[in-house]
C-alpha cells in the first residue's frame, strides 16, 4: 500500500502484492525498517481486501513496504502486504469535514445538522458540537439542533472519562470470563453477510462497494446481446470504468444474481444500519437475546444468538432469524405491508396495549411502553426500509429456531 497511490473517497487501490488469509499479531518490538514506515494521520479508515475475498476494516495505524497495521475494535492487527489484493483508504475525517463544510452556507441549518449527524456517526462529537452551536446562534429554538447538542455533549464527557481507565491493583484477582456468548450457536459467515448486504442496498444511498474488473468483464461476456449491454468495444470498455455503484445498478437491471457474491460491500446498507443501531444494539440483544429470554437455554422455538459484541455475524444472524421465523400458527414476525403491525413489535408491548400479546412467561417484561415509543417507531422504520419484494438470499443456514419461510418469487425484482 503505497501512500503515493492513495486515491481519496470512493476509489479503490489495486495492490501489486499477492495474497494469503492469515493475520499476524502486531509486533511489540521496534521496527528495523522505521525509515520505510509511514505514520498516517490519526483517524483514517482503511478497508483491505485479501485475495480470498476477506474484507478487513479498521483504523490505519501505520504502513510500510512489508505490512499495514490497523486497529480493529481496539485490537492492533498487522497484515502483510503480500497478502493484500486491494485497499481503500479514506481521507482523514477532518479533511472530508472541511471540504463538506466549505460548500455549506452558515445559515443552512438543515445541511449543517446533517453534517453534525455525520460527524457524530464518525465519533467526532467535538466537531459536531461546533456546527450545532453555529446552528443555534442563527436558530436558537431549533429542536433538532438542541437535541443533538445534548447527545454530543454527553458523548464528549464519556470519551473524556475513558481517557484514563482504572488500572487494577497488583493483588487484585482477575475477573472470571463471562459466559455472555451463546455456546455453539451457528452464525452466518462473512460471505453470507456480504451477500445480504448486496441484496439490501438502497441504490439511491449506496454504501461503499467494490466490484472486481474481471467480474464486470464476465458479466459483459455472459449477457452480450442483452439490451443493456452495448455492442461496441468502446462502449463496453466504458462500463469497466464506471463507478462501482453504477456497475451494481447494471447487475441489478440484468438480474445477474450469479455475480452478486462477487460484489464486495464494505459497510452496512442504510436499512441494516437502522437495525444494527436502533434495534439490535438498543433493545433486541439487551431485552430479547439474553440468557433469561430468547438467548438462553430455555428460549423455546425462537432462539437468538446471544453476544456482548455487536459484530456483523451476530446481528445479521439475528436479523435473518427474525425474518424467517414462523409461529406455531405459521405467522411471520415481520409484516412488510404494515411494519407497525409486525408481531415482533406487538409482542413487545404491554399486554393491555396489543391484541397479540407475548405468551405468558415468568419474568417477561414489555420492551416498549406503547406503539408511540421511539424505539417501536424506529423498529418499524427498519422493517419498512428493507428491500421489497423480499429476496431469497440463497443462503445455506440451519439455525436452531423454527423457520418455515414460504417460497419467494424474486423475478421482477433484483
Which residues 6+ apart lie within 8 Å of 98 measured at CB? none
Q: Exposure pattern of 317-352 as b/e (b: 16+ CB <10 Å)?
A: bbbbbbbbbbbeeeebbbbeeebebbbbbbbbbeee
Cβ atoms of 176 and 166 within 8 Å: the answer is no
**What is the per-residue pLDDT across 264-309, written as a single tens digit (0 to 9) for each?**
999 999 999 999 998 998 888 776 544 444 434 444 568 888 776 7
Q: Has residue 185 been placed in a domain? A: no
Does the pLDDT of residue 171 top 80, yes or no?
no
Cα(147)–Cα(138) distance, rounded to whole angstroms? 16
Residue 136 lies in a domain: yes
Both 297 and 338 in a single domain? yes
Structural domain includes residue 147: yes
Taking 60 as the threshold, does the pLDDT of residue 23 lie above it? no
Angle at 292 between CA 291 and CA 298, to 5 degrees: 85
The answer as to whether 193 is a domain residue is: no
Asked if 325 and 343 sit in the same domain, the reply is: yes
Quick: pLDDT tens for 322-338: 998 888 888 899 999 99
Pairing of strands 45-50, 13-14: unpaired
**231 falls within a domain:** yes
Same domain (yes/no): 369, 284:
yes
Report the pLDDT averaged over residues 398-402. 66
Task: Please report whether residue 189 resides in a domain.
Answer: no
**Global pTM exceeds 0.85:** no
| Claim to verify: residue 19 and residue 107 sit in the same structural domain | no
**Among candidate residues 352, 383, 381, the one with its CA nearest the CA of residue 368:** 352
> Would you state the pLDDT for residue 177?
37
End-to-end CA distance of the chain: 35
Q: Does residue 100 fall inside a structural domain?
A: yes
Do 69 and 83 lie in one domain? The reply is yes
Please write the tens of the pLDDT for every residue from 187-226. Answer: 999 999 999 999 999 999 999 999 999 999 999 999 999 9
Q: Look up the CATH number of the domain holding residue 44.
A: 2.30.30
Mean pLDDT, the chain, rounded, equals 78
The reply to whether 214 and 282 lie within a common domain is no
In which domain, by residue range, is 349 found? 270-385
Pairing of strands 24-25, 264-265: unpaired
48 & 134 share domain: no
For the chain, what is the domain count?
4
In a domain, 157, yes or no: yes
Same domain, 14 and 70: yes
Q: Are residues 81 and 128 in the same domain?
A: no
Three-state SS for the chain is CCHHHCCCCCCCEECCCCCCCCCEECCCCCCCCHHHCECCCCCCEEEEEECCCCEEEEEEEEECCCEEEEEECCEEEEEEHHHEEEEEECCCHHHHHHHHHCCCCCCCHHHHHHHHHHHHHCCCHHHHHHHHHHHHHHCCCCHHHHHHHHHHHHHHHHHHHHCCCCCCCCCCCCCCCCCCCCCCCCCCCHHHHHHHHHHCCCCCCCCCEECCHHHHHHHHHHCCCCCCCCCCHHHHHHHHCCCHHHHHHHHHHHCCHHHHHHCEECCCCHHHHHHHHHHHHHHHHHHHCCCCCCCCCCCCCCCCCCCCCCCHHHHHHHHHHHHHEECCCCCECCCCCCHHHCHHHHCCCCHHHCCCCCCCCCCCCCCCCCCCCHHHHHHHHHHHHCCCCCCCCCCCCCCCCCECCCCCCCCCCC
The 10s digit of each residue's pLDDT in 221-266 is: 999 999 999 999 999 999 999 999 999 999 999 999 999 999 999 9
Amino acid at each position: 500500500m503505497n501512500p503515493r497511490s492513495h486515491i481519496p473517497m470512493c476509489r479503490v487501490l489495486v495492490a501489486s502484492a499477492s495474497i494469503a488469509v492469515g493475520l499476524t499479531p502486531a509486533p511489540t518490538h521496534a521496527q528495523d525498517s522505521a525509515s520505510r514506515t509511514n505514520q498516517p494521520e490519526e483517524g483514517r479508515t482503511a478497508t483491505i481486501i485479501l485475495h480470498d475475498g476477506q474484507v478487513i476494516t479498521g483504523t490505519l495505524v501505520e504502513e510500510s513496504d512489508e505490512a499495514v497495521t490497523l486497529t480493529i475494535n481496539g485490537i492492533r492487527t498487522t497484515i502483510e502486504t503480500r497478502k493484500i489484493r486491494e485497499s481503500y483508504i479514506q481521507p482523514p475525517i477532518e479533511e472530508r469535514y472541511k471540504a463538506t463544510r466549505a460548500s455549506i452556507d452558515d445559515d443552512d441549518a438543515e445541511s449543517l445538522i446533517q453534517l453534525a449527524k455525520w460527524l457524530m456517526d464518525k465519533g467526532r462529537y467535538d466537531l459536531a458540537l461546533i456546527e450545532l452551536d453555529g446552528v443555534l446562534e442563527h436558530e436558537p429554538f431549533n429542536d433538532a439542533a438542541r437535541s443533538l447538542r445534548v447527545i454530543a455533549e454527553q458523548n464528549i464527557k464519556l470519551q473524556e472519562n475513558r481517557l484514563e481507565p482504572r488500572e487494577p491493583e497488583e493483588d487484585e484477582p482477575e475477573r472470571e470470563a463471562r459466559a455472555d456468548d451463546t455456546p455453539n450457536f451457528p452464525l452466518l459467515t462473512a460471505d453470507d453477510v456480504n451477500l445480504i448486504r448486496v441484496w439490501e442496498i438502497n441504490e439511491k444511498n449506496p454504501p461503499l462497494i467494490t466490484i472486481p474488473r474481471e467480474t464486470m468483464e464476465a458479466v459483459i461476456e455472459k449477457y452480450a446481446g442483452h439490451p443493456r449491454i452495448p455492442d461496441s468495444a468502446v462502449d463496453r470498455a466504458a462500463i469497466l470504468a464506471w463507478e462501482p455503484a453504477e456497475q451494481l445498478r447494471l447487475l441489478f437491471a440484468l438480474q445477474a444474481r450469479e455475480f452478486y457474491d462477487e460484489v464486495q460491500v464494505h459497510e452496512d446498507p442504510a436499512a441494516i444500519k437502522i437495525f444494527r443501531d436502533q434495534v439490535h444494539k438498543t433493545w433486541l440483544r439487551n431485552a430479547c437475546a439474553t440468557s433469561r429470554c430468547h438467548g438462553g437455554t430455555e428460549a423455546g422455538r425462537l432462539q437468538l444468538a446471544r453476544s456482548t459484541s455487536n459484530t456483523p455475524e451476530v446481528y445479521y444472524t439475528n436479523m435473518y432469524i427474525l425474518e424467517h421465523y414462523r409461529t406455531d400458527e405459521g405467522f411471520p414476525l415481520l409484516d412488510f405491508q404494515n411494519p407497525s403491525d409486525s408481531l415482533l413489535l406487538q409482542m413487545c408491548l404491554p399486554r393491555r396495549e396489543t391484541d397479540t400479546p407475548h405468551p405468558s412467561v415468568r419474568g417477561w417484561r414489555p420492551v416498549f411502553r406503547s406503539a408511540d415509543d421511539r424505539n417501536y417507531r424506529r423498529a418499524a422504520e427498519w422493517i419498512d426500509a428493507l428491500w421489497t419484494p423480499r429476496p431469497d438470499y440463497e443462503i445455506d443456514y440451519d439455525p436452531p429456531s423454527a423457520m418455515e419461510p414460504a417460497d419467494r418469487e424474486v423475478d421482477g425484482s433484483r
